Amino acid sequence: MANPAILTVDDDPAVSRAVARDVRRRYGDRYRVVRAESGRAALEALREIKLRGERVALLLADHRMPEMNGIEFLEAAMDLFPAARRVLLTAYADTGAAIDAINLVDLDHYLLKPWNPPEENLYPVLDALLEAWLAAPDPAVGETRVVGHRWSAPSFKTRDFLARNLVPYRWLTTDEPEGRRLLAAAGVGPDDVPLVVTPDGKSLVKPSAAELAQHVGLITSPAADFYDVVIVGAGPAGLGAAVYAASEGLRTVLVEQRATGGQAGQSSRIENYLGFPDGVSGAQLAERARRQSLKFGAELITAREVVELEPAGSARLLRFSDGTSVSSHSVVLATGVSYRKLTAPGLAELTGRGVFYGSAATEAPSCADQEVYIVGGANSAGQAAVYFSRYARRVHLLVRGDGLTHSMSQYLIDQIEDIETIEVHPHTVVAGAAGDTHLRELTLCDSRTGQAHTVETSWLFVFIGAEPRTDWLHPVVTRDPRGFVVTGSDLLVEGRRPAGWSLPRDPYHLESSVPGVFAAGDVRAASMKRVASAVGEGAMAVSLVHRYLEAQ
């Protein structure tokens, strides 16, 4: 295995050479020193290192660089190597920016230039940071390779699963020589895709999410049979609950069917979350929360679908789709919501082949210089429009209503108005889609006049509606007509407690119709659909879990 890397980036060639020279002189026998002269080049180098399954111990970035400054680079680098230690190189005049960056990018240290002599001003700082990294390094991960068709829905689903779970992989099409060689080596044809080749050389043909997770290093089974609390769903509410439950000593397991972060994890930029004045990507926020929960001792298991909840005396039993189960004293339901499917003709057949629900950030680079259509008028759609505007020739935001003011935060509306390549189309719905191997055109309809017209595009991203994934709770847990979990005083009808309620008290604020089963975040009826409120409800649910357990 190659030595872990130390990456330095500075747009001044002389400074770049000097810092790389000083770092190599001290650490070159144990670390591979990689030098870049722009933030973009440094990110490309990091992506290559990630794909090779190698590790990065330390990042040193100059603050004042054109196009992408040091803070912006370190923020982007966190998605690739969250455990790498981060240092900002600054001039004396930039110390204010460096201090601000401590919260924005979890900055470990900032160094003033010049740092001579390095024995006094550079090496002691780096020694301490490298020692801290060695105590908890990024694990070395081999290369996972995925072979598939560009417009194959199962291939997209596999790539999206790996990307959202931060599993590094290399994508190869069936048209590439190496892709064909891997198919031949696995003894399968070009129609048997996706083919996933794991770091240990095992070939997986059309793997399920659970099979894929097992072979790429994700944890898929709980370590114990019984816990104080099981949290179902690893979105903001579930992660918030896991951090607080584990930090307070509760035996905690977090169960996620797809990927950490939920819908929020797909957001390209969240700018109204407390403590991040310059915004943070959903993936970064989710990854920080995941690491925080694991640090406190929570377990996180992935690719496990919960299909049944059963009260069993004082215990609560959760059954998985494979027939196994886990029990606990209490449960926090934080399954969030999913985007509502469009029902217009042709869309179902093209899902994953040009029609996507959610941001599908893995597809953004492929949209370069093309026309992209986004359906929705809430914050998630607005964030996606801003994000895709970096790549697309033009982004078309399709809104059923007369504008964005009723459903989108003002800061996003202001951003969209300032981006010339985003065009908002009010009173517009998708009436149909057509294509062969992938989406080729959309039929758009004016919701007032009924007049329709056709546009050519290969990209449609849908961000509408909020459907809770709660069918598996029927008939045990009371839900409202839309499927959201009813909690607290809303369960009381004319002052009467819900049928089957066994305790001599009313349900707690976030408690469902089953004692000891709580709901937090978007899945809860009458909840506020925002990241901050979901995190808050996750934390509140844990305080109510404590009250429930103390009374048992």
- Taking only the tens of pLDDT, the chain with its 552 residues reads 578 999 999 988 888 899 999 999 999 999 999 999 998 899 888 877 875 668 899 999 988 888 888 888 888 888 778 889 998 888 755 556 656 666 556 778 878 877 888 898 889 999 999 998 998 766 555 678 999 998 899 999 999 899 888 888 889 999 988 888 888 888 888 989 999 988 877 889 999 999 999 998 899 999 999 999 999 999 999 999 999 999 999 999 999 998 898 888 777 778 888 888 777 778 888 888 999 999 999 999 999 999 999 999 999 999 999 999 999 999 999 999 988 899 999 999 999 999 999 866 667 778 889 999 999 999 989 999 998 998 999 999 999 999 999 889 999 999 999 999 999 999 999 999 999 999 999 999 999 999 999 999 999 999 997 789 899 999 999 999 999 999 999 999 988 999 889 899 999 999 999 999 999 999 999 898 889 999 999 999 999 999 999 988
pLDDT of 368: 87
> Which architecture, in CATH terms, is 144-215?
3-Layer(aba) Sandwich (3.40)
3-state secondary structure of 329: strand
User: Which pLDDT tens digit goes with each residue over 3-36?
Assistant: 899 999 998 888 889 999 999 999 999 999 999 9
Distances (CA, A) of 283 to 107, 168, 209: 18, 15, 19
Instruction: Please state, in angstroms and rounded to a whole number, the distance separating the CA atoms of residues 145 and 159.
Output: 10
Contact 487, 499 (CB under 8 A): no
Contacts with 189 (C-beta within 8 Å, 6 or more apart), sequence order: 183
Instruction: Please state, in angstroms and rounded to a whole number, the distance separating the CA atoms of residues 57 and 6.
Output: 6
Contacts with 160 (C-beta within 8 Å, 6 or more apart), sequence order: 360, 362
Q: How many CB atoms lie within 10 A of CB 504?
A: 6
Instruction: Please state, in angstroms and rounded to a whole number, the distance separating the CA atoms of residues 452 and 390.
Output: 29
Do the domains 226-338+468-551 and 348-462 sit in the same CATH topology, yes or no?
yes
Distances (CA, A) of 207 to 165, 171, 428, 520: 16, 16, 38, 32
Residue reference for tokens 């080596």 = 185
Which amino acid is it at 259? A
Best CA proximity match to 112, nearest among 75, 63, 69: 63
Q: What is the pTM of this model?
A: 0.76
Contact 399, 428 (CB under 8 A): yes
Contact 149, 193 (CB under 8 A): yes
Query: Quick one: DSSP state of residue 339?
Result: P
What CATH number has the domain spanning 5-135? 3.40.50.2300
Distances (CA, A) of 96 to 8, 75, 93, 196, 328: 22, 17, 8, 47, 48
Measure the CA dihedral 256/261/264/266, to 10°: -100
3-state secondary structure of 216: coil
Which amino acid is it at 36? A
Topology, domain 226-338+468-551: FAD/NAD(P)-binding domain (3.50.50)
Instruction: Please state, in angstroms and rounded to a whole number, the distance separating the CA atoms of residues 367 and 514.
Output: 47
> Which architecture, in CATH terms, is 348-462?
3-Layer(bba) Sandwich (3.50)
Domain ranges of the chain: 5-135, 144-215, 226-338+468-551, 348-462
